[in-house]
Amino acid sequence: MEITVMKFGGTSVKNNDRMIAAAEKIAAEHRRGRGVVAVVSAQGKFTDELIAKAQDINEKPELREMDALLSAGEQISCSLLAMAVAAQGVPSIAMSGWQAGFVTNGSFGSARIDHLEIDRVQKALDEGKAVIVAGFQGISDGDITTLGRGGSDTSAVALAAALNASTCRIYTDVDGVYTADPRIVKSAQKLEGISYDEMFEMASLGAGVMHNRSIKLAKKFGVPLEVRSSITDNPGTMIKERFPLENVKIRGAACDKDIAEISVVGISNIPGLASKLFIALTENDITPDMITQSLGSDNSWNISFTVHSNNADKALYIINKLRKELGAVRIDCLKDVAKVSIIGSGIMENPKIPAQMFTALTEANVNIRMISTSELKLSVVVDADEGHRALVAVHGAFFGE
């Protein structure tokens, strides 16, 4: 039996009408004679509401209790969706993450899937049922875990890989992946297709349309993905191993506001101190990005880098402990910065691309704080309140206004 995995995000099940529309899509796929597994997110902004509720009670709740709480959002929507599918005359069964066999590590709030015990889902499929699975969650040593914000995409891809599904469709509130977030950049264009590597970069650099870990997993297991609308029937965007770039060298642009810039000022000019600093950070699961080094006063060094904003306080704590050893005179942390990037497998092919990007920023009067390049991306750090303006300017330079 050919299997289709369908994932419905929060806006695609936000009320009864949307839930019924999703159920109709599931029922139609089932009637086509396919095995159907649907993965569902919490309704609308329900996860945010649960986080706010918890914070009202305790500013720093235990991560274990948070995961038990947040997983409830997906459990509500998967039960309701199974009822809506049954109302279409299609036999269905709802399963929480652990019932569907998601075994994870114990990192509450950002758990990694270890493996899937797929028997129960497989049995339900063999019985002809549409299986509706709560996304974003699993179990570790008997405790409920969640996979991190936006993690339902990763649940869907993991199921598609485990079931060897021939199709994995991500239904959302846009009809595909665009050259930039269409909510911010009005001239953004829908992409017919994009490679896994480019989509991973886009997602990691702020294009919130897909959870970046889901793309890694899809690439690893060769799961072809389609991002499409849950509202219209427009063809979506295919994400697969290779998708040739035609006239342009860039696939898209993105802005990430969840970063912080840390500067360690006045590090002694002795070999080995930079490695000490970065070993301490990475040993504490902090990934520094966009590292720059400049000569400071008195023959000392300044090192600046960015980290995810969630990690900024932890990074400061670690560096402060090393401060004496580094000889640092000051540690600065700027949280109101943003990273604006262009992404594409053709970036390195054209040496004019960086100058084109910087010119667009200059014309938009945006000051560049840091720059970094790699094979697939070119990123700059700018002030947070200039982030969206910078994104529009950079996108305009490569894709037109």
Residues binding ligand ADP (CB under 6 A) = 9-12, 41, 150, 172-174, 177-178, 180-183, 207-209, 252
Residue 129 carries which DSSP code? Answer: P
Secondary structure, 3-state, 303-366: EEEEEEHHHHHHHHHHHHHHHHHHCCCEEEEEEEEEEEEEECCCHHHCCCHHHHHHHHHHHCCC
The count of other CB atoms within 10 Å of the CB of residue 333 is 15
181 makes contact, choosing from ligand ASP, Mg ion, ligand ADP, none, with CB < 5 to 8 Å by partner type, with ligand ADP
> How far is it, in rounded angstroms, from Cα 176 to Cα 226?
8
Piece of 40-48, 284-292, 315-323, 329-337 that binds ligand ASP (CB under 6 A): 40-48
- How far from the centroid of its chain's Cα atoms is residue 202's Cα? 9
Size of the site for ligand ASP (CB under 6 A): 12
Q: How far is the CB of 163 from ligand ASP (least distance, A)?
A: 19
**Among positions 98, 102, 108, 136, the unique one binding ligand ASP when judged by CB under 6 A:** 136
Q: Which is nearer to ligand ASP, 11 or 345 (CB)?
A: 11
Q: Which is nearer to Mg ion, 230 or 304 (CB)?
A: 230
Piece of 143-151, 197-205, 238-246, 294-302 that binds ligand ASP (CB under 6 A): 143-151
> How far is it, in rounded angstroms, from Cα 171 to Cα 213?
17
Where are any strands of DSSP class E within 200-329?
225-229, 237-240, 252-267, 289-295, 301-308
The residues that touch Mg ion, with contacts defined as CB under 5 A, are: 9, 150
The edge-to-edge listing of strands for the beta sheet with 370-373 is 289-295, 301-308, 252-267, 330-343, 377-383, 370-373
Q: How far is the CB of 113 from Mg ion (least distance, A)?
A: 17
CA proximity to 109, closest of 74, 71, 52:
71
Q: Which is nearer to ligand ADP, 209 or 361 (CB)?
A: 209
Report residue 260: phi and psi, to 5°.
-130, 150
Piece of 57-65, 146-154, 161-169, 179-187 that binds ligand ASP (CB under 6 A): 146-154
Q: Which is nearer to ligand ADP, 215 or 273 (CB)?
A: 215
**Among positions 150, 236, 252, 296, the unique one binding ligand ASP when judged by CB under 6 A:** 150
Query: Rule CB under 6 A: which of 62-101 touch ligand ASP?
Result: 73
47 binds ligand ASP per the rule CB under 6 A = yes
Piece of 149-157, 273-281, 319-327, 349-357 that binds ligand ASP (CB under 6 A): 149-157
Summarize as ranges the residues that interact with ligand ASP (CB under 6 A).
9-10, 41-42, 47, 73, 135-136, 149-152
